[in-house]
Amino acid sequence: MKRCTKCNLEKPETEFHRRGKSGLHAECKTCRCAREREGGKRRYYADLDRSRETNREKRRKERQTMETWCAQIISPIRRRAAEQNLPFDLDAGYLRSIWPANNLCPVLYTEFLFGREKGNNAGPSVDRRVPEKGYVRGNVTILSYRANRLKCDATPSELLAVIDYVKQCGL
């Protein structure tokens, strides 16, 4: 007979796990399993939280490169082209080839910033020069999200009118 240090009950030696070649654990099988189950849950949830945080950080860092952005943007563009019945002929390699060498928006001359923060106006965006031609080679360029939104549906004369207005106001 042996006394469990956890439940303080005397139990036969068969109720204790073996420790090494000779000897028994201080806790009975029932108490030890319960403790390990509880400890395992704590470790599991702690590891899960740590893992989620690590994965979030990893994904955030992955988005911060031109290469990963080019690879990730292809799928949404393809889907948008299919929804709007537009031609599509792009791949990540082509987007990398037309990426501005200085990493600046060719319209606003702001540096491209990566990430999914809401209101990221400096993030890159694929622009169709002639929207009706679709997403095909020679018809797309990389602009900042802000520049692409500004020219979204404005005509050149409307954009010039805005420029004239800003000049008149002295802004």
Chain segment 42-87, per-residue pLDDT in tens: 666 666 666 666 666 666 655 568 888 888 899 999 999 999 999 9
Per-residue pLDDT averaged across 118-147, rounded? 89
* The pLDDT value given to residue 58: 65
Amino acid letter, residue 171: L
Mean per-residue pLDDT of the chain? 84
**Tokens 């201080």 belong to which residue?**
26
* Residues with Cβ within 8 Å of residue 26, at least 6 apart in sequence: 4, 5, 6
Side-chain half-sphere CA neighbours of 91 within 13 A: 1
* The pLDDT value given to residue 100: 92
Residues pairing with 3 in the sheet: 10
